[in-house]
Amino acid sequence: MPELPEVETVRRGLEQKLNKFIIKKVEVCRDSTVAFPSSKEEFIKGLLNSLIYKWDRRGKYLIAKLKEVQNDNTQFPLENLQNNGFLVVHLRMTGYFEFIENSSSACKHTRIRLFDKNNNELRYVDVRSFGQMWWINKDLSPYKIIKGLGSLGPEPFSKDFDANYLKEVISKRTRSIKAILLDQTIVAGIGNIYADESLYSAGISPFREARTIKKNELIKLKEAIVTILKKSIGSGGTTFSDFRDLEGENGNFGLQTNVYRRTGKECRKCGNLIERQKVTGRSTHWCPKCQK
Ligand SMILES: [Zn+2]
């Protein structure tokens, strides 16, 4: 599943590629990808004649700010155009975008196709089809319509996310620290890979009851999370196998994981073998010797 660094890589790619992209045609190849509005026709109508003005990211959600363009030759500053709501996307397990100049026919896993007047296409492909898209009218708030978005915890890079915050939210939690890191309402954007890698880097066992973790360990953990996420964004996402950026590239630029998918291999610090076990239904990788 694409996590914060992969989604951030997609966001940057979209911002770069879709320079003044005005949606002139919309094709919905799979109805269930449209999460909102409930009518597919309303979704299509809402997006038509929208300039994709700006891409934001919150957790693993991509949020495009739309502007209304009725006349193609609009010259005045784009900021002055009327807002036309938001296009929100969650890639879930296997969703990705492709930007195709002078587009031709779509592949079998294509779910949504957006075209400009020159037949350039922003194509959304999703093999397992858990990904979702919302068009939110300008009078509504994405944070109210999309429950998962409205309930997100702080971004790992924000000031609100520090050891004090972590201490406070975990002080009474008996769940494992791994489960806490995966909980999007506690911190946004971390999934299985970065949870395992951060816990390894901080020397904390994924199975520890969250409330038993001390302040100095939380300081280390917070730093590990931020460092690993930043490093991964810098290299275009991690070794995650299903992830593609807009050029169809796998973000596998030599960035190594220390524990994730290294079951049975030697720990890079101590030589002990990396183990794997399920925690709250997710495969968890760790070094029993380095992580206490
Ligand atoms: Zn080790």
Q: Specify the pTM.
A: 0.92
pLDDT digits (tens, 9 = 90+) for 126-158: 999 999 999 999 999 999 999 999 999 999 999
Separation of CA 203 and ligand 1 centre (Å): 9
List, in order, residues 6 or more apart from 12 with CB less than 8 Å away: none
The confidence score (pLDDT) of residue 103 equals: 84
Q: Which of 11, 60, 220, 244 is catalytic?
A: 60
Clarify whether 5 is annotated catalytic: no
Q: Tell me what percent of the residues of the chain surpass a pLDDT of 70.
A: 92
Clarify whether 2 is annotated catalytic: yes
Helices (H), the chain: 4-17, 40-47, 142-145, 147-150, 163-170, 177-182, 192-202, 215-234
CATH number for 79: 3.20.190.10
Phi, psi of 125 (to 5 degrees): -115, 140
Phi, psi of 190 (to 5 degrees): -90, 130
Residue 156 in any domain: the answer is: no
Question: Are the C-beta atoms of 194 and 138 separated by less than 8 Å?
Answer: no
Clarify whether 266 is annotated catalytic: no
Residue 186 in any domain: the answer is: yes
Question: Are the C-beta atoms of 119 and 103 separated by less than 8 Å?
Answer: yes
Question: DSSP per residue over 217-256, as a string?
Answer: HHHHHHHHHHHHHHHHHHTTS-S-TT---TTS----SSPP
What beta strand segments (E) does 29-140 contain? 34-36, 50-58, 61-68, 83-90, 95-100, 110-115, 121-126, 132-136
Of the candidates 150, 181, 210, which is a domain's last residue? 150
Q: Are residues 269 and 219 in the same domain?
A: yes
Residue 247: pLDDT above 80?
A: no
Of the candidates 150, 178, 202, which is a domain's last residue? 150
Q: How many domains, in total, are found in the chain?
A: 2
Residues with CB under 5 A from ligand 1 (ion): 267, 269-270, 272, 287, 289-290
- Residue ranges making up the domain that contains 137: 4-150
Of the candidates 127, 150, 173, which is a domain's last residue? 150
Q: Are residues 32 and 77 in the same domain?
A: yes
Question: CA 117, CA 138: separation in Å to the nearest integer?
Answer: 24
pLDDT digits (tens, 9 = 90+) for 55-102: 999 999 999 999 999 877 666 788 888 999 999 999 998 899 999 998
Clarify whether 37 is annotated catalytic: no
Computed over every residue of the chain, the mean pLDDT equals: 92
CATH number for 260: 1.10.8.50
Q: Are residues 125 and 12 in the same domain?
A: yes
Q: Are residues 30 and 127 in the same domain?
A: yes
Residue 243: pLDDT above 70?
A: no
